[in-house]
Structures are given as structure tokens and as C-alpha cells.
Structure 1
Amino acid sequence: MKSRYYVVLGLFFTCLLASNAQNKTEKPKEFKVAFEEFTLENGLHVILHTDKSDPVVAVALTCHVGSAREKAGRTGFAHLFEHLLFLESENLGKGGLDKMSAKIGGSGANGSTSRDRTNYFQTVPKDALEKMIWAEADKLGYFINTVTEPVLAKEKQVVKNEKRQSYDNRPYGHNMEIIDANLYPPTHPYNWTVIGSLDDLQNATLQDVKDFYNRWYVPNNVTLTIAGDFDTKQTKEWVKKYFSEIKRGEAIPVMQKQAVTLTATKKLYYEDNFARLPLLTLVWPTVYQYHPDSYALEVLATYLTKGKKAPLYKTLVEDKKLTDAVTLEQYNSEIAGQYILSVTAFDKTNLNTVQNGIDEALKNFEKEGISTEDLNRIKAKQETDFYTNLSSVLGKGFQLAQYEIFAGTPDFINQDVKNILAVTPQDVMRVYQKYIQGKPFVATSFVPKGQTNLVLNESVLAPIVEEKIIEGKEETFDASIAATYTKTPSSFDRTKEPNYGESPDLQLPTVWKSTLTSGLSVLGIENHEVPLVQFQLELKGGMLLEQKNKIGVANLLASLLTKGTRNKTPQQLENAIENLGATIEANATDESIVVSGTTLSKNYTVTLQLVQEILLEPRWDTTEFDLIKQSTLSQITQQKASPNSIARNEFKKLIFGSDCILANNRMGTESSLKVITLDDLKNFYTQNLSPTVATFQVVGAVSKATVTQSLTALNKKWKPTKVTFPELKIADAPTTATLYFYDVPGAKQSVIQIGYPALAATDVDFYPATIMNYRLGGGGFASQLTQELRESKGYTYGIRSGFDGSTTKGAFLISSGVRSNVTYESVRLIKEILENYGKNFDANDLEITKSFLIKSNARAFETLDAKLGMLHEISNYNYADDYIKSQENTVKNSTVAAIKALSNTYLNPNKMIYLVVGDAQTQLQKLEEIGFGKPILLNTLEEDSKK
């Protein structure tokens, strides 16, 4: 083991906000990320970062291999391999990592694949660190013998389901496939997508998998990152013990930079089965990650599209009203990069008009450039984003590994910061001229079926092969067959799972509370791990207080609140927020309006002054109101094309019933938006936004005294009003099961939702029912639904179940997307699992449930988001400050008999609503065999109601 060095990183950011008057006298503050790194003799590189603020540890294994290391005709291997590595290893056994994750209270073993790296990660209570090191070593060095033909066949189906769900069965899902194939030449390793093609996945052989493992999954191509509360000396000994025997592989070649140049613009189009609106995407080749020009390009992307002053926003959204948003993002990878500009236009908009608007906006930018003030505003937000990325131990670990792999050292964090700070207005214009102005690009036009008249002139049809839905097409397999092999030798018994370390004490954050004279309730948690503050002001009501013929008022009001104030134009308000490096957003839920934000702690008070101004001095800008209405109409149109959105909206109607306001889509409908006026928003604001129904929740590096002082003016000026909540009429749970179907012709997957109106979060049985549900569908890979439908059958990429109540009764819901040609089989299997769940629940199930729910409490409140969620539950459901201890006692006192009784009460499959959204031509008729009668086709009911 060769130890290299120990370094402390000092990050100085105060110059980012040098333009802010309130910061001119502040002394620079230092934020430190300490790390130690060393390399084992076999080449494994290890980075350690200690953070004892919470009793948790994040472990991440990052392998320097992604889709760029694949070969044409064998695409998707890196991602397929990511899946395989979770399934089994010699000493953990089949499903061993997932079983262990549940037992130790981990966040759930997970991973991700990019063009250039694959990582595996999990956050666990600190007493399980040796177990995780043991498990990660077993995955890396003692895995490949366990992969069999049936296991490979099953996991192919899981990955193919992921592709259908994320690409083939959603609007614009094929866009990046077309872009990559045309931006990069066939010989370039970025020519194909990370997910790969269905044919390539199907053609992968067991030998292909073994060859891939032996070449790339070797210690000298892997970085192990451990971050959190641990003893450094002991951890080094564990790493050496479990990893040092794994043999070094062949030398790994350095990926050479491979920039691409387009000699001419390429224009392609595609008629999208799921799209309802036209989408134009322009892509320019740019630079690799951490290239000196990437920093100015990042600023350029932000300046061109984000905010009222942004040239593309101003021209396309405000002036020409062609769209409700423009996005421009830098997608930089290890050896090359690309700049992606996307515009989803309004219904029936010709994309040539959009292209003309883009050209006009860019010409305006060429004349005006970017000011130093605007540059500093963007840098201020970059500071906040940086700290946010470091607000968890896993985030810190990820960042250190990222620098190590793609910049050569974790210490590059210092240079990265300097590069951010060094960007000048001249740099921004220089990179624009170098990479964008007058340069060839790839343009894709995605349009709804039958609307090719909207595509860019001179576009050619993109060659995309659509998968056909064929019953019985997929091969069968038995993934339970055990592999036979000779075990890899070791100097000690690796089958013995390490013992737990010292058990971490449950550390509950200290909650402070107060009620102001206006009636505003305030809850806070002070925490100084990072110099950030997060807050949310919850105003009860939302859609609950709307009129049925004008659904959407609360949602429109929330959107309008941040579009200027009485004394600030929308642009002036936006600039005031961004100059602080803050974010302030307002959103509506079914039952509330929430004003939330994140800010640097030093700017908290000034940020809250802006919140007060937003809340008490609305601008009621008619231009912004019209833009928001058009944007909402556009979103509603897009939802009609998304099977997942269709399922969500239709299921609400079935669960809550036509007499309940909660059955509606809170964005409203085309008809309701047409009749809503600005006066409707003003009336809703006057009648329903009151401190008497509001709660302010705040967490982070700010004291109670500072928070109280920041709310003084708001408390004085915000006049309370009486808010009356109408009685809710939620439909009764069904006494018999009914199966509904919504037809999406040509759907590659069926979206399944099963459930009924069940419990409120305040019901005495709500948490016990949540405990009962853990092994059914709430425990990820520890749940029976996942094990049966994904791990055993390969029907789905994911499935879950849960109780979703609030202060009102919510749904019990099972949801999944399954491959279309096993729709009937999936519904039948879910029904069987529900029928047998209570009967088969045993002491082992209870032990796993208890172990996870109790041990996972160690990491329950690590992040600011988690702490804010805690305050939400305390304030909304009247939970005690230490409610987690009460819940822990409920878990400890749970019995098999009690779980069986809860299952009998709340999991009767013959008294549930079944909804399938999919291809009726191939799937509808067979579903009658489930035994719930002929499925009711909802599309037909919709059409009949319109006649």
C-alpha cells in the first residue's frame, strides 16, 4: 500500500459576490474538504474523507469504463454490466448485496453508467462500514464466476425494459440517439448512446460479458471513495485486507481526446408516436470536461437562456411567444463535448419560425455581449450550487472521485475553482465565436405523427427502428438456477460476513418552534455543516380551495408570485435573487402553495426580505399571466402524450371520484384555463393566503434569533384572514375490483397502477401499514414485488408500492411499467402476490423489516432536504419533535401476527382499482382473464362524454 499524501483543500468564493454591497466588508471564509489518498500495490486508488457530522459513511466504487470503451455492435455493455454486478458474487451469494443493504439500514445499493465511467454507491450507518468494504471487494474480485446464461438472459430483459421506459415509450425518447449518431462519426466512441440498442443487448453472449469484466473491472482501473464518520487507520486496514488480493489487470490505455468537427450542418426529422408538440434541438461540437474553454461555455449557456434578460428567452418566449422555455446545456465528457439547445414549441408551431427566432436572438447577443454585472450574477449561483453538491458525504465522495478520474487528482478542486473565477466577459464572447457563431450543427425536428410540415427545411428522415409488439417474443429463462464453479482462492474465509462496528446513536436534530402574533407558525433546525440555508413557507389550501369550474388558479398564482413585485419588474426581481446566489421558487400542490428557497447563510436575511416582498407585494403582471397560461396549456398538451402522466391523471380520477376536488389535475384543463382571469388569482390570494394557515420551516447555518428577526416585518405587515376549507368528499374504497384500460396505440410498455383510497398520514394505522408494506413493495430490492417481477421474471425495470396519505385520505398504490407483451402476466402476478403476502409473511420478513427501519434512522436526517422534510411532517401532521423514536418503538413492537392482520385489512386485491395504460389492440382482450370482468376502456368513455 503506497500512501501518497494528505491535503486540505481551502475553497475561497467571496470574490464571486464582490459586486454585492452587503458583502464588501466581509472577510473571506474558508470551506475545507480534507482528504487522504493512497494506492494499493494492485493499482486500486483509494480516497478517504472524514466527516463526523452524522453517524453515516458513503462508499463508492468508480470504474473508469463506460459506453466509450465498447465496440460497435456490442453497445450497452457497460450499462448491462452495471446491472449484473449487483446480482451475485461468490461470497455474498445471490442477491446478497441487496439483502445486506436492507439488513444494515443502507440507502440501497445503486449505480450509474456514463460514457466514461460506471459507479456503485451506497450510504450506510457507520457500524456497517467493514461490511460494505467486504461487499465491494467481493463484487470487484469475486463476481464473474456467478454469471450464468439464465442470469444474463434475465438481466437483458430488465435493461431492455429500462430502455423502453426511458427512451422508447416517452416523447422525444429517440432524440439523443439521432444526435449522437450524426454528431460523432461511426468510429468515435460517443457515436452511440449509453443505453445501447435492443439488438446489441439481445446479442450479448456470456463470453462477451466475461471478456468485458476481465479487461476493465480490475483494481488498476478503479477508484474507491469512502466519506463520512470512520476511523482512518482502521479503514485503511480493512481496505488492504479485502482488496489487496485482487489481481492487477493489464495496463489501461489513456483515452485520447477526440474532438469532432462538422463540415456542414445536418438536419434530420422524426415523427414521434408520443409527441404532441414539435421539438427543435440544435447541437454543436465543443470541448471535453475541464477544458479551459468549458468554464466560459457554461456561463454562456446560462446567460443565453436563463432569466428575463436571456437573449433566447426574451426573443422566443416573450417577444415571439413560440415556446414557454429554452434550454441550453453543456454535455462535456472525457474526450469530447457538445452544446445542446432545445426548444419545445407551442402546438402547430413551424420549427423554421423557431430557428429564425434563435438566429435573431443570437445576433442580438453578438451586438450586446455580456456585462461584468451579469457575469458576477451567474458566478454567485455557481457558488451556491457548489456547496449544495457537497451537502452530503456521498456528494463529497462523488466530487473527489470525479476530479481523480477525469482531472488526474482530487486536488484539482482548487484549480477548478480558479477556472470558474477567472472567466471574463471577453472569454464568453470568444468561446461563442469559436464554437457557435456561424458554425455547422446537427438539428433534429421531432414532430407529432402527421405533422411533417412543421420540420426544418431540408431535413431528412432519421433512421430509427421501432420495436414491434409481439406476444411471446422474449426468451424464457430460470434465473434461480445456481451457478457451478470453482471458488476463487483467498488467504482467509471471505464467506464470513464481518461483524458490526460500534452501533451509532440516533442523533435527532434539535427543533425550535415559535408562533408569531400574526398566527404564522415557525419551525427551525440550526446546522452548520455547509454555509447554506434552505427554507419553505407552506400555505395550506392549494387546489382544495378552488372552484371546480376553475381548476388551476392556485397553480397559476404560484407561478405568478415570483414574476415581479410592486416595485420590481420580473427582470429586476430575478436579478436581485441571482445576485445573492439564491433561488426562490413558488409551487402549488394539491393541498398547498409553497414558497421555497436556498441561499448562502450570509445572504439569508436579504433573501427573506425578497420573500416578504414577493408574498405581500405581488405585481399582477398581465404579460406574465398570459405567458404562464400558455405555458401551462403546453404542459397539459404534453401530458396527454406521456403514458406515465396519463396513468397518474386517470388514476386520480378513479381513486378520489368525480365529487372530490382532488380528482383533478392541479394544472387544470384547456377549458378551465380559458375562463380563469387575473381577477380570479387576486381573489384567491386575498381570501386564502393568510398567516393563520401558514408555516415557515427553515434549516441550515442560521440561528433562531436571526430567523425571528428576519420575519419581524412580515409578521407585522401580513394581515390574517379566516380561511374556510370545504368538506372533502373522497370516494369510498371499492367493494369489488374493476379493471380499467387507457389505450395508447403502439405503446412499448404498459403502465400499471393498482390501489384504492386508503389512509391519511394522521390515521393510527398509517405508520404500521407502512411497516407492513416494506417487504411488499416499499423496500426496493428487498421487496417481494421487485424480486418477483424484476429479479425473477425480468418483466419490469422497477415496481413499488406505498401508502400516500396526508391530512386527508390518500391512495395505497402499486405502480410499474412492464414490457407490453407481458401485461396480463404482470397484473396476474401482482394480484397473486397481494393474495399471498399476509399468509406467507414470516419471522424472517419481520426481522429484515425491523433491521432496516431501525438502522436506517442513523442516516434519516443527514441532508438539509431531509431535515426540512422532518419539519414538514411535524408541522403538517402534528407529530412530536421526536416522532422518529415513537415510530422506532412501533417497529420494535411489531409482530408477525400484527403484520398479517394489517395485510388482511389493507391488501385485498379483490377490492382494488386496476388501471393499465398501454396498447389496447394487443393487450386489452387478454386482461379479461384476470377475473374482474371485461376491462373498461377509458378512452371510449372520454369520447362519449364529449358528444
Structure 2
Amino acid sequence: MKSKYLLLLYLFLSISFTNYSQNEKSKDFKVEFEKFTLKNGLQVILHIDRSDPVVAVALTSHVGSAREKVGRTGFAHLFEHLLFLESENLGKGGLDKMSARIGGEGANGSTSRDRTNYFQTVPKDALEKMIWAEADKLGYFINTVTEPVLAKEKQVVKNEKRQSYDNRPYGHTSSVISKNLYPETHPYNWEVIGSLEDLQNATLEDVKSFYNRWYVPNNVTLTIAGDFDVNQTKIWVEKYFGEIKRGQDIPKIEKLAVTLTETKKLYYEDNFALLPQLTLTWPSVYEYHPDSYALEVLGNYLSKGKKAPLYKKLVEDKKITDAVDIYQYNSEIAGQYMLTVTAFEKTNLNAVMDGINEAFKDFETNGISQQDLSRIKAGQETAFYTNLSSVLGKGFQLAQYEIFAGNPSYITQDVQNILAVTTEDVMRVYQKYIQGKNFIATSFVPKGESDLVLTGSKLATVVEEKIVEGKEDAFDSSIEATYQKTASSFDRSAEPAYGESPDVKLPTVWKSKLSSGLHLIGIENNEVPLVQFQLQIKGGMLLESNEKIGVSNMLAELMTKGTKNKTPEQLENAIESLGATINAYATDEGIIISGNTLSKNYNATVALVEEIVLQPRWDLKEFDLIKQSTLSQIQQQKADPNSIARNEFKKLIYGNESILSHNRIGDEKSLENITIDDLKKYYTANGSPTISLFQIVGAVPKNEVIKSLSTLNKEWKSKVVTFPKIPVTNTIASSKIYFYDVPGAKQSVIRIGYPALAATDADFYAATILNYRLGGGGFASQLTQQLREGKGYTYGIGSSFSGSNNKGAFSIASGVRSNITFESVSLIKEILNDYGKNFNENDLDVTKGYLIKSNARAFETLDEKLGMLYNISNYGYKDAYAKDQENIVKNISISNVKLLSDKYLNADKMIYLIVGDAETQLEKLEQIGFGKPILLNESAVK
């Protein structure tokens, strides 16, 4: 699901970076790529970007859920999973296993209605390996799929569906919309993930037929973007892909727009929702339709920001929600235009509908001004450049244009279409697609609150899965597939050697300290005409009182809502007119004001940040809106099992004595106590340059940065700020199981861990090395291999050490099928107990290979460089700490890892938290051996 201009932002490729206007830009716009087609029909697109020693490889198959048959839905997405598991020459573990060795950035994939893609960024010396691996997946895969493999992966996909749809608030909304917007004969009638019943009924023959039809070279685009030799790459592509047989001709899928003969209103009482939500959906246009550009602007104008008619009416005037979202979901043959409002507690959705209609009337009367249109386009310009720092994003978009627009060069036309939108276009598309047109209205409300739904709504049909103990299919994932290898003209089992090792250069860091006490740290980077920065004021929740948790969070929200001399709307307009973004947010340990802007607008953007810091507005109306919005967030978190787990785990890790045990946004009681005077007192006492850091990356030199902050340095008064001592969290004497009951939960959310290390502790990085093969290495980790790949218990599981200047937690996190909660926790405990004892030479080699080689792409993007500066300035790391960490990896031994495991991975001294259905899962957990589970909330279970 993606908006039009965000798609484009991935690929604003090779242009001359000069300060010219948008209209001039459309004339000078130039894309550098090379495209060719193999004899078997494989489309290949190459793009050179030598800014970093990395290469992104993306394989995109023109098949999504729209190519499926009724009764066999979900196949395209199932294949996304299967193609990572094994192929004839990569062997078991496939690309995931190789990725861990070569330092790749998370081999992954995604499926939409119309395409499935597979992608990864690797150090440039691994390019031939990637081409070899992707060819093996495409042409030498299907023989490795057996009944046990299929049975296991069905369970993984089912867990993904439960996690993403069935076990979360409003998870069934999209399904209800699709079923009612599109006729049964339309290929968008079903969800991309398919139905659980269809997945369960899929046979091995079904799978092979789907593969042989759609996974053929003449239906696939290979994109390679980054730092590589073009001629050599062409030779490799021909060698590895050239002899894969062409498939049957692929029919062009025709556009198939839909119309609604009537407005349909549907409702559903959601087991997880605590707030009512209204979604309106209109039939819209396909991807790259000429009207999609004006529709994008329309959605932005109607819903985003202080001037937006929907915001003014629903948020400010009626005060029945804190946000409105409008977005396009445009696909290859049709599209839909969606408006979503999550209302405040007990709000009747008829009142929301009234507000929407009133806002539409305002727009019909006033339209959009040229000034507002220019403001929106300015934001699009900056967003183009922002997405340039990733070669993977560039590869994605090249394939997108090739498949859905007919040629990668369509980007030139695409940009011109964005810039050509007029105010008249925006009104025209509103009248054509929205005004007075039929739509689908879905009212999703909490259980027992059907009185809140739109008048005239009918109960929606929703298929709820029944999870029964012991009813899942059994399978043995250890069974090796036996088959005759597909013939080839050369030995494909030999993995290609590495190329020349890339020369990894760490960015040059500069530092300064101003007379006010403000510390500066930066990296000058001129790859794109962008600047990203953040002003970090230390403190956050650490400087709050237990009775008024949430002050710093509300203060951060309020800081960007106007200044002394600018109303909230005027400040917002000033920022957006520069094509800039300025956001403020709170963490447990600070308040951060972040900015992103074109380098030519850097000084003007920083001037606005100075105004925000030095001249706060203290707008009471905005304070009241923020307070209500925060209350709504708290209520929504109570409805989401993952949020419940996060907040409850924090309490258990830090204990009642530590302020860090709290949810930083507060709770209903603390919010009730907070006044705007509390925010003023907090800022007056703690807003000081002496505890602040300014971190900046981009196309601006050190001297200009220092000069740009002269007013802030002169006028921001220094204060002495005292930080309270945070009690050292006690170690866990013995393990206990805690349970939070969510009746009817389809999954159990698991959190296991204990208070571990600070980022400044000597063992912190060594502990992250220890954790790589346990749960930090994705598919290279034992937790993933055993719980997902071996058992099919979960869609995802991972572990991490998270510390700052204060001690953080070691934690294991997952969501598992409800009826194997006990089995999952038992297996995790077993893995923890055996990890150090069984750690071997292969584990060490994989760990070292990944952590050393991944340095080539460690600081590719501006965000990653900013993260580097954060670590240096907050934790006292050396400028070249990445090299120091590399040496730690090189020198670590198996005995070191075993000692670290004994020290930091004791399964009998951890907190075990389960958020799930107590009625079916609580009692059995006593068999884990940690005593009777402790119930954390009121429950029907006795």
C-alpha cells in the first residue's frame, strides 16, 4: 500500500544537483540505467551508483494475488516464503543462510496484488554470489519443495496472518472492504495473504503448477543497482540465468475498474478494538493513471496538517479524533481511495460522518489555493532526495516502472506528471471520484458497542479462525528432499568466489562545543543536496516525577505547535513551504527535535528550530488536543497485545522503584494530573544547552553549521540540570512466568529476558556478538531456525541486548500460535540452556563473516550516519568505533562466547511474560518448572 509520490522517491536518480526550480528540474531530469533482455525473456536493468561499496539485487516476478484462482488464494505470498528455504545448489537454508556469511542486509521479499519481489543489499565483492543465488531460486528451486516443507511453511504463513490480521485491532477491515468493493469475479476480491482454508487445502501439485506457470524468466525482472563493473555483470547474468527455460507466454492483465451501484455500510464488533474506527473507500484508479497525481495532492490537502479541512473539522472543531488519514491503494488494474478515522472512546461514528461531510462542503466552496499546492509539491521535492541514499530503493523503483509502466524511463514522465498538477485538477478529481459518489463504509467498534456504528450498517461477514489444541498438521522438517538435479551446462553447486574486497571508509566526523555548552557533531556528505539533523535535549522521562509521567512526551508534541510569533498553522506553513520537516518527540532519556531539508534551505530551517526552542508558544488549545490524543493512544495500546507485552515487560524488567518502568506517554491517572504549567516548569528547569547535543549529516560544512546556530548559542540560557540517580535494577534470582489475559487471543505474545547491560559497559558489544547466532541474526539465528523453520510455531522471533547510558534489557520477543504456547516457551528455554554448550566453529565463522562484511554498508544512508553520531556523542564511543568493534569480532574465540553465554544467558534467571488467552494456555505453563504463573490482570480464569 503506497502513495504515488513515495513510490517515486525511491528513484530520483542521476541528475545535476543545482539550485533550480521544480519546473527547471523537470526539464533537466535524467536517468542513467541500462536495460537488456536475455533470449529467454528475462528483463535486466542495471544502474551505477558508486557512493558506497555496495550492490542491491532485486528479483521481481510479475505475479501477485491477482493471478490466483478462487479457492487457491494466498499462493503468491506462499511462494515468497518458499523461495527462501532451499534451492538445488544453495541447499537447505537457501539465500538466508548465504546472506549471513556474506554480510547481506536482510534478504527479504514482499508480495502485492500484482508482483512479488526478492531483494538484498550486499558488499560489492558478493555480487556474483547473489546473481548465482537468485538464478538458482528462479530455475533450480521447485524440486526441493516436499510435503513436509509445504506443511511447515503453511504454518508460518498462518502465523503471519494471525499476527498481521487476526490478533490485532481492525485487522479484518481490509478483507471486508475487498469483498464488498470488488465483485467475486474480480482478482482483487481477496486479500494478498489469502484465506487460511485455501492455504490449508493447497497441495504439492498446486504449488508446482503455480511455479511452472509464473516463475519463468519471461515474467521476471532482475535489477542490479550500486557499485559494480557493468561488462562483468552482464557476463555473470548470462552465465547463471541464460539457460533457464522460457515459460509459456504471459497474458497481459487488462485494466478492470469497478463501479458501485450503491453505497454499502457494514459493521463489525472487533475483539481487540477499544476505540471505534470508520473507513470510507471509493473506487479509484490504477497505478500511474493520469488522475492519480491530483488524487495524491487531494488526499494530502484534505487530511494533513493544520489547514486541512478534515483536520480542522474533526480534530479541532468537533474534537472527536486526533488524526485523519487519506491514502491511495492503487494497483495494476484498479485502485481504491481510502479515508480512515479512529475516533475517541464512545464516539458515535455518525458524528464522524457528519464532520467528514461538513469538511467536504468546505472544500467544495473554497478549493485548494496555489500557495497550498506549491507547499505540498515542496515537500515532495525534499522527499525525492531523501530516498536517494539507498541503492536498494533505486532498484525497486526501476523494476516498478518496467513492470507497471512499460519502461524504467517512465520516471521522467512520472515526475513531470507530479509537477503538472494544477488547482483545477485537484477539484476535478474530487468531483469525479468523491463528490456524491457511492462508497464502502466500514464501522469497526469494540465488542458490545454496535450502537456506535453508522446508521443503516449491516453486519459484515468475517471468518474467525478457531484454534483448537492439537489440531494442527504434524510434519518432520528434518526430512531431506530427494530429487534428480536439473541439468545445467556447468557445475552450479560451486558457489562463486568473492570479488575484490571493498575498501570500507568510515565517514569523517567533526566536533565542536559552543560557548553556551551546546555540543556539536557532524559529517559533511555531498552525495545528495540534503541535510538531516537532530537537537537532543537530554532528560526525557528521567527528569519527571512518578505522579506526572508523560510531561516530556506532551512537551515534545507541543513544541512544534506554534511559536511566540507564529500560530500553529503559520509555523507548519513556514516549515512545509521550505520542503522541510521538523518533528519533536520524547524518549525515555531525552527530547529530540529532528529536521530534514534541502541544503539550500538549511539556514531557514534551522532558524525555525531556533524559534521553536527560544520562543515556545504554550498554546492551551493545542495542549488540550495533545492531551486527548495521548489518552487515545493509551487506550489503543491497551487493545494491542504487542503494546501490552511491551509495557508490562518494562514494568517487570525495571521494577516499581525505577522511573524507567513506566510507559513514557503516561497513563490515564498521570495524564489527568498534568497541566500546561507542568510542561512550562519542566522546560524552564531542564531545557538547557549544557545537556544538549546537535548532530548533523549532509551537504553543509562545519563552519556554516556553527554560524547557523549563533542565535541559539547566544540566547539559549545555560542552566545546571541535575539528573536523579537511577536505581540499578536488581538481577533476577530465579525465573517466574507472568501472564496477561487477552480472552480469545489467536496468538500468544512472548517476552523473555532480564535487566542486562548499558551501552557503555565493556561487554556490551561482545554481548551483541554472542547474540547474533541466538536471535540477532534473523534467519541465521537458532531461535528462527528452530521455532519458525523447524516447527512452524511463529512468523518471527528475535533477541537483543538493548542498553543506553542506563542498563537495558536482554529480551526475546515473538508471537506464536496460541495452542503451542507451552511448547514454544519450552523450546526457547531449551535453546537458551544449550546455546553456549553447543556453540561451535561454524557458529563463530558465520558470526564473524556477517559482522565484518556488513561494515561495507553500515553507514550507507544519512539515517545510518546520524545513528553513528548519536552513538559517538551519547556513549563516548571513538569516532572509528566501527573499526574497534570489527577488531573485537576478529579476536573473539569460541571459549570467549561460551564464557559470555554462561554470564548473560541463564534461562533460569529470567522473566517470562505471556500475553494471550489464559483460559486455554495459563494452566499448562506451570509445567515449564518455574512455579504457578502469576496473572497480571483481572481474568475470568480462576
Q: What TM-score do you get using the length of structure 2 for normalisation?
A: 0.97
Match runs of 1:212-291 below 5 Å: 212-291=210-289
Q: Which residue matches 1:86? A: 84
Are the counterparts in 2 of residues 16 and 380 from structure 1 also a CA contact under 8 Å? Answer: no
Secondary structure (helix, strand or coil) at the match of 1:634 reads helix
- Residue deviations 1:669-704, cap 9 Å, x none? 101111100000001011111111111111111111
Aligned residue for 1:465?
463
Matched, 1:651 2:649: yes
Instruction: Please state how far the C-alpha of 1:941 moved relative to its aligned partner.
Output: 9.9
Quote the residue 1:732 is aligned against.
730
Name 1:504's counterpart in structure 2: 502
Tell me how far apart the structure 1 counterparts of residues 601 and 302 of structure 2 sit (CA, whole Å). 26
Please say if residues 112 and 119 of structure 1, whose CA atoms lie closer than 8 Å, have aligned partners that are also in contact.
yes
Distance in 2, Cα, partners of 1:916 & 1:289? 43
Cα distance in structure 1, aligned partners of 2:28 and 2:14: 9
Kindly indicate whether residue 313 of structure 2 is the aligned counterpart of residue 315 of structure 1: yes
Distance in structure 2 (CA, Å) of the matches to 1:42 and 1:522: 56
Q: Cα 1:706–1:27, aligned 2, differ >3 Å: closer, same or farther? A: farther
- 1:353-502, aligned counterparts within 5 Å? 353-502=351-500
Structure 2 counterpart of 1:839, from 831, 837, 840: 837
Q: What amino acid does structure 2 have at the position aligned with 1:99?
A: K
Q: 1:614 matched to which residue of 2?
A: 612
For residue 140 of structure 1, what is the aligned residue in structure 2?
138
Distance 2:25 2:396 in 1: 30
Once the two structures are superposed, residues 6-43 of structure 1 have per-residue CA deviations (whole angstroms, 9 ceiling, x without a partner) of x996589977668xxxxxxx999966541111000000
2:927 corresponds in structure 1 to: 929
Matched, 1:101 2:99: yes
Q: 1: distance between equivalents of 2:17 and 2:887?
A: 45
Deviations 1:490-531 (A, max 9, x none): 000000000000001221001111111111111111112222
Separation in structure 1 between the aligned mates of residue 519 and residue 31 of structure 2, nearest angstrom: 36
CA contact (8 A) 1:64 1:117 kept: yes
* 1:43-95 deviation digits (Å, cap 9, x = unpaired): 00000011111000000000000011011111111000000000000001010
Residue equivalent to 1:783: 781
Give the aligned partner of residue 193 of structure 1. 191
Is contact 2:277-2:342 (8 Å) kept? yes
Shift of 1:399: 1.2
- SS in structure 2 of the partner of residue 437 of structure 1: coil
TM-score with structure 1 length normalisation?
Answer: 0.97
Give, as a single letter, the amino acid of the residue that structure 1 aligns with 2:318.
Answer: K
Q: How far apart in 1 are the matches of 2:625 and 2:755?
A: 36
Contact 2:26 2:416 in 1 (8 A): no
Q: What per-residue deviation string (whole Å, max 9, x for no partner) do you get for residues 622-657 of structure 1?
A: 000000000000000010010000000000000000
The Cα offsets for residues 299-348 of structure 1, whole Å up to 9 and x where unpaired, read as 00000000111000000000000100000001111111101100000000
Amino acid of the residue matched to residue 341 of structure 2? Answer: V
What are the within-5 Å matches in structure 2 for residues 656-695 of structure 1?
Answer: 656-695=654-693
Q: Residue 847 of structure 2 is aligned with which of 846, 849, 856?
A: 849
1:385 Cα deviation (Å)?
1.5
Q: Quick check: 1:14–1:29 contact (8 Å CA) kept in 2?
A: no
Q: Secondary structure at the match of 1:806?
A: coil
The one-letter code sitting in structure 1 at the alignment partner of 2:224 is I
Q: Could you tell me which residue of structure 1 aligns to residue 551 of structure 2?
A: 553
Q: CA 1:205–1:481 in 2, change beyond 3 Å: closer, same or farther?
A: same
Partner of residue 857, structure 2: 859
Give, in whole Å, the separation in 2 of the partners of 1:460 and 1:354: 18
- Which residue matches 1:23? none
Matches within 5 A, 1:787-936: 787-936=785-934
Higher mean alpha-carbon deviation, 29-38 vs 391-400, is at 29-38
Aligned equivalents of 2:307 and 2:543: distance in 1?
35
**Cα shift readout 1:210-243 (whole Å, capped 9, x = no counterpart):** 0110010000110000000100000000000000
| CA displacement, residues 734-764 of structure 1 (integer Å, 9 cap, x when unaligned) | 1100100000000000000000000000000
Kept after mapping to 2: 8 A contact 1:17/1:579: no
C-alpha change, 1:438 and 1:29, in structure 2 (3 Å) is: closer
Aligned residue for 2:106, secondary structure, equals coil
8 Å contact from structure 1 (residues 9, 414) kept in 2:
no
In structure 2, what is the Cα distance between the partners aligned to 1:943 and 1:367?
57
Q: How far apart in 2 are the matches of 1:552 and 1:874?
A: 28
C-alpha contact (below 8 Å) 1:268/1:444 kept by paired residues: yes
Q: Which amino acid aligns with 2:752?
A: I
Query: 2:582 aligned to 581, 584, 587, which one?
Result: 584
Q: Answer whether contact 2:280 2:442 (CA < 8 A) is retained.
A: yes
CA distance in 2, matches of 1:685, 1:180: 48
Report the AA paired with residue 904 of structure 2: Y
SS state of the match for residue 628, structure 2?
helix
Aligned pairs, how many? 931
CA distance in 2: counterparts of 1:518 and 1:668, whole angstroms: 32
Counterpart Cα distance in 1 of 2:139 and 2:746: 37
Question: Contact 2:26 / 2:415 at 8 angstroms: preserved in 1?
Answer: no
User: Is the CA contact 2:658–2:726 (under 8 Å) kept in the aligned structure 1?
Assistant: yes
**Contact residue 315 and residue 361 of structure 1 kept, 8 A:** yes
CA shift, 1:247, in A, is 0.5
Instruction: Write out per-residue CA displacement over residues 449-490 of structure 1, whole angstroms, 9 at most, x where no aligned residue.
Output: 000000000100001111112101111101121111111100
Is the CA contact (8 Å cut-off) linking 1:8 and 1:35 kept in structure 2? no
* 2: CA distance, partners of 1:561 / 1:41: 60
Distance 2:13 2:454 in 1: 53
SS of alignment partner, residue 416 of structure 2: helix
- % identical equivalent positions: 75
Letter in 2 for 1:153: A
Q: How does 1:48-59 map to 2 (within 5 A)?
A: 48-59=46-57
What's the counterpart of residue 4 of structure 1?
none
SS at match of 1:732: coil
Distance 1:202 1:876 in 2: 51
Pick from 637, 640, 643: which aligns with 2:638? 640
Question: Which residue identity does 1:50 align to in structure 2?
Answer: I
Tell whether the 8 Å contact from 2:323 to 2:341 is kept in structure 1 after alignment: yes
Cα pair 2:13 2:388 within 8 Å, conserved: no
Q: Distance between the aligned counterparts of 1:702 and 1:28, measured in 2? A: 25
CA contact (8 A) 1:12 1:28 kept: no
CA–CA distance in structure 2, aligned partners of residues 14 and 879 of structure 1: 37
Q: 2: distance between equivalents of 1:297 and 1:30? A: 26
In the other structure, the counterpart of 1:21 is none
SS class of match (1:284)? strand
Deviation at 1:389, TM superposition (A): 2.4
- In structure 1, the residue matched to 2:299 is 301
CA distance in 2, matches of 1:120, 1:13: 35
Residues 33, 878 of structure 1: CA spacing in aligned structure 2 closer, same or farther, 3 A cutoff? farther
Aligned-partner Cα distance in 2 for 1:178–1:597:
39
Residue by residue, what CA displacement relative to the aligned partner does 1:908-940 show, whole Å, maximum 9, x if unpaired?
000000000000000000000000000000004
Deviation at 1:390, TM superposition (A): 2.3
Distance 1:607 1:17 in 2: 19
Summarize the Cα distance change of 1:171–1:8 in structure 2 as closer, same or farther, 3 Å threshold. Answer: closer
The whole-number CA distance in structure 2 between the counterparts of 1:857 and 1:222 is: 31
- 5+ residue gaps in structure 1? 1-6, 19-25
Q: Superposition pairs for residues 146-225 of structure 1, below 5 Å?
A: 146-225=144-223
Secondary structure, in 3 states, of the residue corresponding to 2:397?
helix
Partners of 1:8 and 1:468 lie apart in 2 by 50
- Of residues 510, 517, 520, the one that matches 2:518 is 520
Q: Name 1:3's counterpart in structure 2.
A: none
The answer for unaligned runs of 5 or more in structure 2 is 1-11
